[in-house]
Chains A and B, each alone.
Chain A
Amino acid sequence: MDEEYDVIVLGTGLTECMLSGLLSVEGKKVLHMDREDYYGGASASLNLTQLYKKFRDSPAPESLGRDRDYAVDLIPKFILASGQFTQMLVKTDVTRYLEFKQIAGSYVLRDGKIAKVPSNEREAVTSSLMGFFEKNRARKFFMFLQGWKDDDPSTHQGIDMDKNTMTDIYKKFGLEAGTQDFIGHAMALHLDDSYKTKPAWDTYDRIILYTSSMARYGKSPYIYPMYGLGELPQAFARLSAIYGGTYMLAKPIEKIVTDDEGKFVGVTSEGETVKAKMVIGDPSYFGAGSEEGQDGKIRVVEEKKVVRAICILKHPVPGTDDADSCQIIIPQNQVGRKNDIYIAAVSHAHAVCAPNVYVAIVSTIVETSVPEREILPGLQLLGTIVDNLYTPVSSGQQDNIFITRSYDATTHFETVAEDVADVWERVTASHFLSGHITRTHLLNPTLSCFVP
């Protein structure tokens, strides 16, 4: 432990593991520590015993089956098949440690009923989400998006995506408010309606990302790792270890040591201080959640709170044709809220629970003082819930202390990919994707408005 490292990484959540993997490959000497004795931090997947210990402080009911069958995600997310996160998986080659499956369906709530999200003009025509005339309008809208060519003004139909807003485009095609809801929230995956008054580019890119992800494997735009999301940080940790990264679990972190100027010096664990040039960590290592912050210094400001309920079901989610997995988005307007409600459901098909068990996680950004009531519209879609583990969760350069973000309420990983890129750029002062991942115009910088 008396060696000096280039970087100390605290917490083995996905973002941290991705960063330490990438930094190790880059040749940096990395020490990665976690206070827990398991990998994954806030993005771990737990077995039954761990899950009930965490939320109930009691043993798991025997009716749920064997411990080893379970890997329940604490943060529910799916991966967009053509997204930036998938590119990171492929480029870093961690795919050799992981196996992915499709999520069987992507659904959205409209007028009290759930229906599949149509992803192109053909599906728009058959979708039960829209009436006859609206279908035709939606078809034209999708044809416009699919036909768009940057350098061919004849495909622009008078729209300038730098200047015109999404509201302008919705108006042009005469789309109903409910249609706008599923386009903006279930396809473009915006978290609220503020996108409507911004230039249309961002939303265009997101819709194209959704449709190209959809086109990749067919059933839904989402994929999911077998054995749960907890496999992802482990895969990146292995990548880091293979390139010389040192791993220490169950290490209580007592102090982030700084010099007189407040610059990072090292990390104290079990009475020993390890030095490094910089530290990266999740907010919980920097005083998140505590009133006085850390050493009287507030480094983490809590922004929004997310509420999640992990629901254990003995049947598929109603209305999904018995799909083994699905995402359901309840757009804010459909239930009179300011933030969408997300549902992510997976099952035994993904080796995350016992046979005939389904795990659905309902989440949203908290708007009131009774968050458990806010997720009710989501719970109501699930039918009989065997058990419901309710989890209120906090969300949350000069000093060489880099804090990653907490995981947000979205059900996909694009914001994680973005956070990795962001910290990477701050840490290395170099453009993230230059040597690693080819950034396509799908992922233009405006994505940074994407985090709640």
Chain B
Amino acid sequence: MADSEAPAKAVQVKLVLLGEAAVGKSSLVLRFVSNDFNENNSPTIGAAFLTQKCRLEDKVIKFEIWDTAGQERFHSLAPMYYRNAAAAVVVYDITKASSLEKAKAWVNELQRQANPNIVIALLDLITDGAVSTTAGVADSQTEAAAAPGAEGADESAQDGQEPLDDVTEAQPETTTTPAAASGESLRQVTREEAEAYAKEAGGLLFFEASAKTGKGVQELFTEIAKNLPIESMMPKTPGAGGAASGTAANRRAAAAQAGNAGSGNKVNLTEGGANKARGGCC
């Protein structure tokens, strides 16, 4: 079993982000994971995935958030990306009608190919113009997760908040007035249109959020967490799977949901020496 992660009650949830290139997927993650925003976010480089914990009643949910790494840019995203994802946030930009069309295509593909129980959220990501917010960003824990630059990210996933005390449900909400309406003047997609689609596409969750102000971001992830079939995703009791790490256990649960009876014989290639590199950061 995974060694030092003693209070390992956390349920691991693989969450993928989909949407047209440059709609702000990475900014959204950065906001959620480190409550930060970077105006000129360069295309994502260097991080395999970011993690963030979320408390839901008595359970801790550890989101493992995968970035497309730019592979969507030329319609070349590998299906491996959403394999076994328990949740997907499909993002579009209200100022670009084409981005909603792209979002619909992704929802389609997920419903055809991904885990049948996947929780899909359609997200209206407000691109905030020049409006400055009074965001009281709690900045104490940003460094860990921000991962631009190839070097820093070579070893393993960038863990946002590892220790349990850092659970972020208590993060100060950014004190925004509904100033996020900045993009409104450029709006091409009405909220009603998108919401109607979300309903008709088979009960997608629907949200509006702003990465810049942080508005709606925490709610988005909390609501996703509430909609996950948590019970069936709980790590199995030790002994059932032997050397399964947390992630593997989650995947097994996800695989079981998907109807793939993946029992036994799992192997962990990194057990032993190679694991140390990973533990080092936290």
Residues of A within 8 A of B (CB): 25, 27, 39, 68-69, 81, 86, 89-91, 93, 95-97, 99-102, 104, 217, 219, 223, 226-227, 231, 234-235, 237-238, 241-244, 246-250, 324, 348-349, 351, 355
Is the Cβ of A27 less than 8 Å from the Cβ of B267?
no
Is the Cβ of B265 less than 8 Å from the Cβ of A104?
yes
Closest 5 CB pairs of A and B: A241-B69, A234-B80, A234-B78, A247-B76, A249-B76
Taking the closest CB of chain A, its distance from the CB of B178, in whole angstroms, is 36
B157 touches A (CB below 8 Å): yes
Taking the closest CB of chain B, its distance from the CB of A13, in whole angstroms, is 14
Contacts of A25 in B (CB 8 A): 150, 154
Contact of A241 among B71, B260, B264 (CB under 8 A): B71
Contact of A100 among B69, B70, B261, B266 (CB under 8 A): B266
Contact of A249 among B69, B75, B269 (CB under 8 A): B75
Is the Cβ of A101 less than 8 Å from the Cβ of B269?
no
Q: In the assembly, what is the distance between CA of A241 and CA of B70, in Å?
A: 7
Q: In the assembly, what is the distance between CA of A302 and CA of B63, in Å?
A: 49
B132 touches A (CB below 8 Å): no
Given contacts A234-B78, A238-B81, contact A243 B262 (CB under 8 A): no
Contact of B266 among A101, A238, A247, A249 (CB under 8 A): A101
B 223-282 contacts with A by CB, 8 A: 247-248, 251, 255, 259-270, 274
Contact of B150 among A27, A100, A248, A324 (CB under 8 A): A27
Interface of B is mostly: loop
B153 touches A (CB below 8 Å): yes
B83 touches A (CB below 8 Å): yes
Q: In the assembly, what is the distance between CA of A320 and CA of B81, in Å?
A: 35
Which range holds the interface residue count of chain B? 35 or more
B47 touches A (CB below 8 Å): yes
Q: In the assembly, what is the distance between CA of A249 and CA of B47, in Å?
A: 22
Given contacts A27-B150, A100-B267, contact A351 B260 (CB under 8 A): yes
Q: In the assembly, what is the distance between CA of A86 and CA of B270, in Å?
A: 10
B156 touches A (CB below 8 Å): yes
Question: Which chain A residue shows the least CB distance to B47?
Answer: A242
Contacts of B101 in A (CB 8 A): none
Q: In the assembly, what is the distance between CA of A211 and CA of B155, in Å?
A: 30
**Residue-wise interface mask of B (71-92) relative to A, using a CB-CB cutoff of 8 A (1 in contact, 0 not):** 1011110111101000000000
Is the Cβ of A349 less than 8 Å from the Cβ of B74?
no
Extra A-B contacts (13), CB below 8 Å, given A90-B274, A249-B76: A68-B112, A81-B267, A93-B154, A93-B155, A93-B156, A223-B269, A226-B262, A237-B71, A241-B71, A242-B69, A242-B153, A243-B46, A349-B265
Question: Which chain B residue shows the least CB distance to A324?
Answer: B265
Contact of A97 among B45, B80, B113, B264 (CB under 8 A): B80
Q: In the assembly, what is the distance between CA of A354 and CA of B69, in Å?
A: 31
Is the Cβ of B45 less than 8 Å from the Cβ of A244?
yes
Question: Which chain B residue shows the least CB distance to A81?
Answer: B267
Contacts of B247 in A (CB 8 A): 96
B48 touches A (CB below 8 Å): yes
Contacts of B265 in A (CB 8 A): 101-102, 104, 219, 324, 349
18 A-B residue pairings within 8 Å (CB atoms)? A86-B269, A93-B48, A95-B269, A99-B266, A100-B267, A101-B266, A223-B269, A226-B262, A234-B80, A238-B78, A241-B69, A242-B44, A242-B46, A247-B71, A248-B76, A349-B263, A351-B262, A355-B261
